[in-house]
Structure formats: C-alpha cells, structure tokens
C-alpha cells in the first residue's frame, strides 16, 4: 500500500546497499509484502533466501512511538526467539543510520509460507487458526518485565503511567500536525478515572499487531500447518489483554468466547471476562483507535486508501471502546 514513510530506492541503489552489507551476489530482487511503514524487499544470494527491510529516512517525521522502530524490531525478535517456541526469522545484519546512509536497515531470513490472509485453509483448518494464534500469544505473555511501555520511548514503573504517556504522546503527535483529537482526550480521561485498576496490571510482552498479514503459514506433510510471526516492532511491555484486540476483531471482550477458551487452556493467568478486564480491554481498543486516527496525518494523503481505512476503523474502535467506558 502507498505510504509516505516508505523510502524510494531503485534496483541499482538497493543492490549497492546489499553489497555494502556483505552480499556480493544479489539475485531475484523484488518488493515484498504490503507493509505501510518500512520498504521491504526479497532477494536471493548463493541459493539462500533473504528479506531486506529499509526504515524511513531519519529526517522523515514519524509518530513518537515509531522512533527507532527497527531497533525495536530486533529487540522483540530476540525476546521471542529466546523465550518461546514461536517460529521467527533469523537475523543476519542490522545496520543503523550513519553519515553515509540516513536510514536503518535489516537483513533477515526469508521464511517459506504465505501470510495467513492469503493461505488456502480448509474450513476445519480455518476454524482452528484462532486457537493456535491465541496459544502462541500466551507464550509471549509469559515473558515478564518489571517496567512498562515502549523501550525506545522510556519505561515506567506501572501500567497507568505508561499508558497515560503513550496516549499523551499520540495526542502531542496530532498537535504537531495542527489537529486535535477529542476522542483521544476522552480516552485519556477514562485512563485517569481507572488509575487504581491500571496500576495493578502486570507487565508482559505484548505484540499488539497480530493481524493475518503478520502471520506466515505453511502446510507440512504429517505436521499440519506451521505458523511463524513477522514484524513484531510495535510490541511493548504492558497489559497482555491488549493482544485480544486483534482476536475476533470488534467483538466485545466478554463475548470472545473462542479466544478466551483457548487462552484459558494455555495461559498461566487466564482472563474470564470480568468488568475490570472489559475496562482494560476497552482502553486498548481506544489506544489503537487513537494510533490509527493520528498516523493517517503522518503516512497518507486524503486520497490514499490508507487514509479512508484509518478513518473508518478508528471510528469503529472508538465506538466499541466507549460503549464500555461510558457505562463503567
């Protein structure tokens, strides 16, 4: 999808960059995926398959939580690979921007398979995918931390302070574009109203981006479907309930019966749909709505497909969040 943040480079420029990164042989170079932040390319070298990710230029204005996003991606890939059985790509080269190159770049393994939204599931396989993803999410929720928030933005001692800062930063980001978000301000009000509840939330790894486009699937003989995760750069330390926003999208939290059942069977700290959990979940729906509301000013123009999508989806998310928060 078109996005202002994706750097524009031609074939020769990319090949030259790969030579600098140590790949003397570059074959079958082509764009990869439908991402909307980094520029991503597939290439082969000496019969091995790779992915090159190029971050936006350092002088491109991004939202606060997107600063140093590629460093964040490397950090979270390592958390997953070291602490779970979830399949993720191997990382080969990570180079930060310097005087010569005004962008970060990363070369990693190109895993086989296709994204979940393009995979030819049978009906039985499709019915089982949600349970599989929820069980995988429970693995990262076993990764604990003593602090909260985005590592690249500074961590906090409790979830209330972290989520307050995360929302406030997004509101500052929209103000930089000479806009306001009354719904975002309303969300921050409800966070402050529920301070006591939020201070007691545990700190766990949260992916917050477990959409079908970020899950690779491959059918293996006698092993069924194998899943792998890509693009964990939007992860943070915080409330594990946030990952349920991506499961059974826009279904009220207490009615996500399939996802909750799978989580109860795999998590050390299952959710049961209590009012407190509904409030925590609604706050994270609202936070995603705020991100989508603000990011359109940074990435898209009004005629871009991403602009209209963000307008519609953020409106739906806010409505779902405030249906809970307005009555509690």
Rounded CA separation 187/225 (Å)? 40
pLDDT for 222 equals 73
165 assigned to some structural domain: yes
Q: Are residues 177 and 85 in the same domain?
A: no
Q: Of the given ranges (84-88, 159-163, 302-306), which has the lowest mean pLDDT?
A: 302-306
Q: Are residues 86 and 145 in the same domain?
A: no
182 Cβ contact partners less than 8 Å away, ≥ 6 residues apart: none
173 assigned to some structural domain: yes
Q: Are residues 90 and 181 in the same domain?
A: no
Q: Can you give the chain as a three-state secondary structure string?
A: CCCCCCCCCCHHHHHHHHHHCCCCCCEEEEECCCCCCCEEEEEEECCEEEEEEECCCCCCCCCHHHCCHHHHHHHHHHHHHHHCCCECCCEEEEECCCCCCCCCEEEEECCCCEEHHHCCCCHHHHHHHHHHHHHHHHHHCCCECCCEECHHHCCECCHHHHHHHHHHHHHHHHHHCCCCCHHHHHHHHHHHHCHHHHHCCCCEEECCCCCHHHEEEEEECCCEEEEEECCCCCCEEECHHHHHHHCCCCCCHHHCHHHHHHHHCCCCCCCCCCHHHHHHHHHHHHHHHHHHHHHHHHHCCCCCHHHHHHHHHHHHHHHHHHHHHCCC
Instruction: Calculate the average pLDDT of the chain.
Output: 95
Q: pLDDT tens-digit profile of 172-199?
A: 999 999 999 999 999 999 999 999 999 9
Q: Are residues 143 and 272 in the same domain?
A: yes
pLDDT for 221 equals 78
What residue numbers bound the domain in which 164 lies?
Answer: 114-325
Average of per-residue pLDDT across 48-73: 95
238 assigned to some structural domain: yes
pLDDT for 4 equals 83
3 assigned to some structural domain: no
Cα atoms in the Cβ-side hemisphere of radius 13 Å centred on 41: 25
Residue after which a domain boundary falls, among 88, 109, 130:
109
Residue after which a domain boundary falls, among 82, 109, 136:
109
Rounded CA separation 165/153 (Å)? 10
pLDDT for 3 equals 79
pLDDT for 1 equals 58
Count: domains in the chain: 2
66 assigned to some structural domain: yes
Is residue 33 over pLDDT 80? no
**Given pLDDT bands bounded at 50, 70 and 90, which one contains residue 145?**
very high
Q: Are residues 88 and 197 in the same domain?
A: no
Rounded CA separation 279/293 (Å)? 21
Q: pLDDT tens-digit profile of 152-176?
A: 999 999 999 999 999 999 999 999 9
Q: Are residues 161 and 241 in the same domain?
A: yes
Q: Are residues 104 and 118 in the same domain?
A: no
Query: How deeply is 268 buried, as exposed, middle or buried, from its count of CB atoms within 10 A (0-12, 13-18, 19+)?
Result: exposed
Is residue 2 over pLDDT 80? no
Q: Of the given ranges (52-56, 125-129, 148-152), which has the lowest mean pLDDT?
A: 125-129
Give the pTM: 0.95
Q: pLDDT tens-digit profile of 207-266?
A: 999 999 999 999 987 778 999 999 999 999 999 999 999 999 999 999 999 999 999 999
Q: Are residues 103 and 153 in the same domain?
A: no
5 assigned to some structural domain: no
We report the CATH number of the domain holding residue 64 as: 3.30.200.20
Q: pLDDT tens-digit profile of 260-302?
A: 999 999 998 999 999 999 999 999 999 999 999 999 999 999 9
Residue after which a domain boundary falls, among 109, 140, 157:
109
pLDDT for 224 equals 84
pLDDT for 98 equals 84
Is residue 95 over pLDDT 90? yes
């Amino acid at each position: 999808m078109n996005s202002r943040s994706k750097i524009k480079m031609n074939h020769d420029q990319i090949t030259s960059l790969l030579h600098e990164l140590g790949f003397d042989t570059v074959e079958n170079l082509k764009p990869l995926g439908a991402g909307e932040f980094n520029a991503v390319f597939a290439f082969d070298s000496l019969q091995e398959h790779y992915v090159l990710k190029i971050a936006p230029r350092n002088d491109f204005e991004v939202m606060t939580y997107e600063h140093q996003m590629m460093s964040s991606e490397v950090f979270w890939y390592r958390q997953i690979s070291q602490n779970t059985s979830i399949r993720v790509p191997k990382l080969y080269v990570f180079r930060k921007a310097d005087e010569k190159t005004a962008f970060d770049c990363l070369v990693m393994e190109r895993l086989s398979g296709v994204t979940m939204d393009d995979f030819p599931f049978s009906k039985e396989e499709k019915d089982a995918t949600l349970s599989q993803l929820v069980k995988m999410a429970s693995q990262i929720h076993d990764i604990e931390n003593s602090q909260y928030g985005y590592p690249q933005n500074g961590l906090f001692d409790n979830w209330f302070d972290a989520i307050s800062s995360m929302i406030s930063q997004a509101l500052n980001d929209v103000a930089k574009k000479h806009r306001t978000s009354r719904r975002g301000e309303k969300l921050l009000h409800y966070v402050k109203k529920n301070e006591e509840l939020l201070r007691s939330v545990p700190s766990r790894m949260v992916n917050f981006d477990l959409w079908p486009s970020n899950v690779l699937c491959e059918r293996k003989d006698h092993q069924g479907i194998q899943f792998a995760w890509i693009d964990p750069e939007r992860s943070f330390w915080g409330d594990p309930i946030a990952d349920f926003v991506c499961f059974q999208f826009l279904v009220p939290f207490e009615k996500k019966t399939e996802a909750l059942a799978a989580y109860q069977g795999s998590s050390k700290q299952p959710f049961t749909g209590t009012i407190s959990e509904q409030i925590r979940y609604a706050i994270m729906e609202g936070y995603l709505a705020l991100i989508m509301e603000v990011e359109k000013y940074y990435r898209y123009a009004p005629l871009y497909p991403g602009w209209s999508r963000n307008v519609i989806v953020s409106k739906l998310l806010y409505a779902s969040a405030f249906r809970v928060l307005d009555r509690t």
